[in-house]
Amino acid sequence: MMIKNKKKLLFLCLLVILIATAYISFVTGTIKLSFNDLFTKFTTGSNEAVDSIIDLRLPRILIALMVGAMLAVSGALLQAALQNPLAEANIIGVSSGALIMRALCMLFIPQLYFYLPLLSFIGGLIPFLIIIVLHSKFRFNAVSMILVGVALFVLLNGVLEILTQNPLMKIPQGLTMKIWSDVYILAVSALLGLILTLLLSLKLNLLNLDDVQARSIGFNIDRYRWLTGLLAVFLASATVAIVGQLAFLGIIVPHVVRKLVGGNYRVLIPFSTVIGAWLLLVADLLGRVIQPPLEIPANAILMIVGGPMLIYLICQSQRNRI
């Protein structure tokens, strides 16, 4: 009981930190806002300067929160589905496949803009299925599976590089220049994906069973691995449709959360949601304040943090002979 209470208290503290970080991100920038500016805006409703800043910063902050949560949860789900602690959508090529489909759709059928998360999901599904088929045939260990994923990532990014030579081919670049329609599109996918994940989290711990144990209790482990993997791909692909590729968030957050609260997915998923949202928000905030008025992409900061962590996890997996 005491451990449960400690986890609840920790979760509430993280929520407070997240809200505080969102407020700091909102008032910080090339043009700073004071509390009086916000108070005047919400009491009188007449402050054009604040209105313009709100329209620039608030969509960006909301998208950062949703994308961070979705990518963190996607990473946790992929690791459960593939039984691989190194799995992450960007590393195994899912994000690249989704981005290619997104680019093609915007070139040929731009009128389907509001369906981009779903269309990107189709693109992200292709490399995921390739990984599954190859793994079922060759039974890769954790590191070998990641190497195959990296090969797919390189291949698909090469295709993407060729496609982007067309000046009409539009690729989303991070969190900059986001508008309210982007928020609405992503919010639908975020709500759907995260609610389904919370419902599925009751079964996720059973994915650690082997096939014999699962059958002995009547649990269809293959079905739930597929459902978990598809949900992970959907969450990651939906973020790609709006912000493009963001690396390592799905690696960093689940492993940090496991260190904090253990591997129970009923606890891990909510914590990953909050910490993922906070981490991307912090990366974006740092990118805006380190060298103003220039902006460092949040993805660059995530890669600086995530690269060493991936090396550490690979070394650890080899030591444990996963």
* CATH code at position 155: 1.10.3470.10
Q: Confirm whether 17 is domain-assigned.
A: yes
Kindly state the DSSP code that residue 320 receives in the 8-state scheme. H
CB 155 within 8 A of CB 31: no
119 domain residue, yes or no: yes
* E-only strand ranges, the chain: none
At 125, phi and psi to the nearest 5?
Answer: -70, -30
Assess contact for 107 and 166: CB atoms under 8 A.
Answer: yes
User: What is the total count of domains within the chain?
Assistant: 1
* Dist CA 22 CA 210 (whole Å): 42
| Domain-located, residue 2 | no
Tokens representing 303 are: 């890669």
Q: What pLDDT is recorded for position 145?
A: 87
Q: Which two tokens stand for residue 246?
A: 């963001």
| The predicted structure's pLDDT at residue 46 | 65
- pLDDT mean by block of 10 residues, the chain; 322 residues: 79 96 86 69 68 84 96 95 89 92 88 90 94 87 86 91 80 84 95 93 83 78 91 96 91 92 91 96 92 85 86 74 52
The answer to the question of residue 67 being in a domain is yes
Cβ(39)–Cβ(27) under 8 Å?
no
Distance between CA 244 and CA 242 in Å, rounded? 6
HSE-CB of 4 using CA atoms within 13 angstroms: 2
5 within domain boundaries: no
Residue 1 lies in a domain: no
Please report the pLDDT score of residue 143 as a whole number.
81
Find the domain containing 20 and state its range.
11-320
Contacts of 206 (CB under 8 A, 6+ apart): 214, 217, 219, 221, 224
Q: Is residue 127 part of a domain?
A: yes
Q: Residue 6 domain-assigned? A: no
Q: Look up residue 3 and give its amino acid.
A: I
